Structure 1
Amino acid sequence: MTTTLRWGLLGASTIAREWMIDAIRSTGGDVVSVMSSDQDRAAAYAEANRIPHPTTDLDALLGEVDAVYVSTTNELHHDQVLRSARAGKHVLCEKPLALTVGEARDMVDACRAAGVVLGTNHHLRNAGTHRAMREAIAAGRIGRPLFARVFHAVYLPPHLQGWRLTSPGAGAGVVLDITVHDADTLRFVLADDPVEVTALTQSAGLSQGDVEDGAIGAIRFRSGVLAQFHDAFTTAHARTGFEVHGTDGSLIGTDCMTQRAIGDVLLRTASGEELLPIDRSNLYERSVARFTAAVAGDGEPAATGEDGIWSLAVAAAALESARTSRVVAIDPVQSTTKVSQ
């Protein structure tokens, strides 16, 4: 295996078109095939994105690639990753990995048994803003962290609304779309694991049926840090942010919960205020580069399969908390709660 990977796209998706195809190509990979359940869609997508081989047949795609990028709807991830692993293909899978923690664990175990790399495409931990915050905390610049706050309430654009608002069986809702990112970014920045969560969800009219389009909650971490999250599909005029407050200072990140390499981080202490230097590298290019290096035996993906299990476990616990009105323990090992319920 060389670091020049032949990639197949499982899903003719918007995220692949807008971000991942260019990221793969810019890091030396070659996108050779795309699979869709609809042959006409696969053909049109392939032509528009200069991909040689459109298909509706997963086995056909697996026969001509080294790695797959999985961005199908959430309920399809489990089977597609297992089949890819059995075929000896490396896998970079969108979040959430699956609809239950048990299914996600199956995927991690299958890839490990097959000797292939599994990465979760949690792009936000590749942002320069969050890496700068993690480094500042590790260096003790805010003392002992006490609290964190994530503001990730946005407006879901019309071209992405579809199943995310209407299809519980596919893993619809803001918790699986956004709260999983909050959970992963908090784990990454704090270098800490969550233990319990309490949450409330909202259906404000954009979503349908029992699908939530807003959520707010709090997570307790092993160190004692309390973290607040506010997520939505319905707020057109909000700004995103990520803050960590410690005994000796605060880190205030603005406009940083985004796919773009933007945002700033202010360090505020008794000595005054300082804007941290930020690496403006493309988040997805860094993700693909880290994944490609892992395939070549150099380190791990930016977010591993285990990281994907943790973020899914937080989402499952948050939805269970909203359903039962109680604090729910976060269990990345045993939980089998189906998060679409």
Structure 2
Amino acid sequence: MSTNIRWGVIGSGGIARRRTIPEGILKANNAELSVVFDINAQVNAEVAKDFDAEQAASIEALLDTDVEAVYIATPAHLHGDQLRACARAGKHVLCEKPLGMTVAETQEMINVCKKMGIKLGCAFMMRFVAQHAEALRLIREGKLGIPTYARAQLSCWYPPIEGAWRQDPATGGGGALIDMGGHCIDLLEMFFGKVARLSCFINNTVHDYKSEDSAAALLFFENGALGTVDTFFCIPDNSSKNALELYGSKGSILAKGTIGQAPAGEMAALLEKDGKDYDAQQARHVRNSTIRKITRKAGFSNGARPEGQGTIIAPEPVNTYQAEIQEFSQAIIDDREPLIGGELGLRNQKVLAACYESARSGKVIEVG
């Protein structure tokens, strides 16, 4: 096996052109871009020229090359057929989320890959955000105590655009909830474990396209913690700070701007020492708290902290697109399962399906 995995891209415009090719495939230390395809021939020609890649005239032509892995970044309703074609051709697949349009289709896609011996990855690149990785370490080490509540927010301004596939459930599977809320749900399950049951509301609050522009979900985790996800296509970009809040019996980890495409944002941990007694005055220590900035890779000091002290979590930034391409490429080289595989994509699909069912029925839904 080569130390550099040869990549093809199906859907070379959009996120592939903006992020995954220049920041991911070209920067990864174990990958190289070989061939690209897009239904828009002009865009595909531009991408091929810009990134010095071969231009394929069809998916079949791309799969007839010697690429070892394919990144699928097309509208969601095309993922199933394109993934099956890649599997039949013996190509490993990293697919944008959602993997399929339904839970059943996603399961069938996973089954096909297993049958053909193909590795399948789901592009939840926000798991690679350096602050998120550090927060997960703190939680696993028990620094947060018993998980109690989590919130993830991801919103933007997305006005009606003719032909926009995310604005029609027939091509995108839904709107703000499945497109951005999927990332939020995945992150919260990474931190707190599986969601057991939930309730959800969706609406077209501002925009009148077929997909929802507004969604809010209340989650009940298997460990007893509660959570909320709020995601909107109708809030101006600069007005939404894309908050991440993680609370436990020993404190909180609070962030803004870490949920997104770029390695940005800020995060702080506000953690109590063990055995803290009840405070009748419920003092917050907001104005007088001490904030320390920890920038080393480990990200958090093990030393004693004065009561009420906060610690800024600022590990060395990681480009999430480079990280996801390197990890998936290394899984192929090592012949192991990817860290973010098809099963995580299926799990996310099940939670999203429960959200939409709750929104339709007005009931609390158990997650299968």
Asked whether the two chains share a fold, i.e. TM above 0.5, the reply is yes
Structure 1 vs Structure 2 CA RMSD: 1.9
Distance 2:33 2:49 in 1: 12
The one-letter code sitting in structure 2 at the alignment partner of 1:174 is A
Taking the aligned partners of 2:144 and 2:162, their CA distance within structure 1 comes to: 38
Work out the CA distance in 1 between the residues paired with 2:343 and 2:75.
20
Which secondary structure does the structure 2 equivalent of 1:285 belong to?
Answer: helix
**Paired residues of 1:148 and 1:244 also in contact (CA < 8 A):** yes
In structure 1, the partner of 2:276 is: none
Q: Describe how 1:103-142 pairs up with structure 2 within 5 A.
A: 103-142=105-144
**How many Å apart are 1:298 and its aligned residue?**
6.0
Measure how far apart 1:202 and its partner are. Answer: 1.5
Question: How many residue pairs were aligned?
Answer: 328
1:67 to 54, 66, 69: 69
- Asked whether the 8 Å contact 1:290–1:300 carries over to 2, the reply is no
**AA at the equivalent of 1:62:** L
Q: What is the CA-CA distance between 1:47 and the residue it aligns to? A: 2.6
Aligned amino acid, residue 315 of structure 1: L
Corresponding residue number in structure 2 for 1:12? 12
8 A Cα contact 2:160 2:209, kept in partner? no
Q: Distance in 2 between matches of 1:172 and 1:196?
A: 20
Q: How far has the Cα of 1:302 moved from its partner? A: 3.6
Percent same amino acid among aligned pairs? 29
Which residue does 2:294 correspond to in 1? none
Aligned-pair distance for 1:133? 1.0
Q: Are 1:288 and 2:328 counterparts? A: no
- Do 1:218 and 1:226's aligned partners in 2 also have CA atoms closer than 8 Å? yes
The yes-or-no answer on 1:329 pairing with 2:366 is yes
In structure 2, how many angstroms separate the alpha carbons of the residues matched to 1:160 and 1:131?
38
* Matching residue of 2:222: 222
For 1:299 and 1:280, how far apart are their aligned partners in 2? 26
Q: Which residue of 2 aligns with 1:91?
A: 93
The question of whether the paired residues in 1 share the 8 Å contact of 2:77 and 2:170 is answered with no
Q: Could you tell me which amino acid in structure 1 is paired with residue 148 of structure 2?
A: L
Superposition TM-score, scaled by structure 1 size? 0.91
- Structure 2 stretches of 5 or more lacking a match? 273-306
Question: CA distance change for structure 1 residues 162 and 253 in 2, over 3 Å: closer, same or farther?
Answer: same
Task: State the AA in 2 paired with 1:310.
Answer: R
> In the alignment, what sits opposite 1:231?
231
Counterparts of 1:133 and 1:155, CA distance in 2: 28
Partners of 1:204 and 1:326 in 2: CA distance: 21
Deviations 1:213-239 (A, max 9, x none): 110111111111111011011111121
Q: So what's the TM-score if we normalise by structure 2?
A: 0.84
Matched, 1:315 2:316: no
Q: Does 1:100 align with 2:102?
A: yes
Structure 2: distance between partners of 1:128 and 1:204:
34
After TM superposition, the structure 1 stretch with the greater mean CA deviation from structure 2, 132-141 or 152-161, is 152-161
Superposed counterparts of 1:1-341, under 5 Å: 1-22=1-22, 23-27=24-28, 28-55=30-57, 57-64=58-65, 65-156=67-158, 162-190=164-192, 192-209=193-210, 211-236=211-236, 237-270=239-272, 271=307, 272-297=309-334, 299-331=336-368
**Cα distance in 2, alignment partners of residues 110 and 327 from structure 1:** 33
What's the CA shift for 1:160? 11
Contiguous gaps of at least 5 residues in structure 1: 332-341
Contact (CA 8 Å) 1:287, 1:301: kept in 2 or not?
no
SS of residue matched to 1:200: strand
- Give the letter aligned to residue 316 of structure 1: A
